Amino acid sequence: MAKQYSQVDILRVELLQNLEDAGETVTSYFSDVARLEVVSRIEEVTKRIVSSLSKEEAPVLVLKSRSRWSNVRFNKSVGLLMTTGGTVSTLRSDCPSTAIKFALILKALSTIYKLVQSDSYVTKRDIYYNDPQLFGSQKTLDAIVDDVSCLLKVPRRSLHVCATTKGLISGDLCYLEEDGTRVDCSSTVSQHHHQALH
């Protein structure tokens, strides 16, 4: 078993080196964006919306199209990487076909803003069950969270939203993740407790 883990470590080092060789920043792939930066990016989106409204214009959100192959490139050493530029989707608040998605993204941004400010974490499932009628389905919320991640150009974890695990751990157990995050399993399902150790 130790041999398998040493192979994983070797592959990890190789991947990091390949990212650097490809001219990509390692931190953009493996680390969280600072809380204050996420808050700042949400506030910028909000300011643009308020500015549009003050000019009596319909606010719009511009998202990189995640489903378009033209927005990614393949590097044989690293895998898929997002391209700069590329195809975007525009969500207009005054367009019947995009207004609902626009509103759902604003609701998610509001929730995420509060989470990041309070340094709290929740699962996507927790967000969904706070208002299942609004989101309609878990799949819809999952897509909205991915859209917010693209809109703010941050990994989902920096949004303080975690994926729901397949299993459930509860009890007198704490563990330390590789990135230094301490996970306390004695908390309730809806109150995940993550602390970065220094």
Contact between 111 and 127 under an 8 Å Cβ cutoff? The reply is yes
Q: Are residues 65 and 142 in the same domain?
A: yes
What is the span of the domain harbouring residue 19?
Answer: 1-30
Residue showing tokens 């643009």: 48
* Contact criterion met (CB below 8 Å) for 107 and 134: yes
Q: What is the pLDDT of residue 44?
A: 96
CA–CA gap between residue 53 and residue 82 (Å, rounded): 32
Indicate if 11 and 65 belong to the same structural domain: no
Number of structural domains the chain divides into: 3
Task: Show which residues are catalytic.
Answer: 129
Residues of the chain with pLDDT under 50: 27-31, 188-198
**CA quadruple 140, 181, 155, 67: dihedral positive or negative?**
negative
> Can you give the pLDDT at residue 35?
87
- Rounded Cα distance, 105 and 111, in Å: 10
> Tell me: the pLDDT tens digits for 66-99?
667 777 777 666 666 667 777 788 899 999 999 9
Residue 193: the pLDDT is: 43
Exposed, middle or buried by CB within 10 Å (0-12, 13-18, 19+), for 144? buried
Say yes or no: 103 and 198 in one domain: no
Quick one: pLDDT at residue 80?
A: 64
Nearest to 181 by CA among 162, 154, 165: 162
Residues 38 and 13 grouped into a single domain? no
Task: Please indicate, yes or no, whether residues 104 and 140 belong to a single structural domain of this protein.
Answer: yes
Amino acid at 33: V
Distance of alpha carbon 123 from alpha carbon 156, whole angstroms: 11
157 with 170, same domain: the answer is: no
| Domain shared by 55 and 82, yes or no | yes
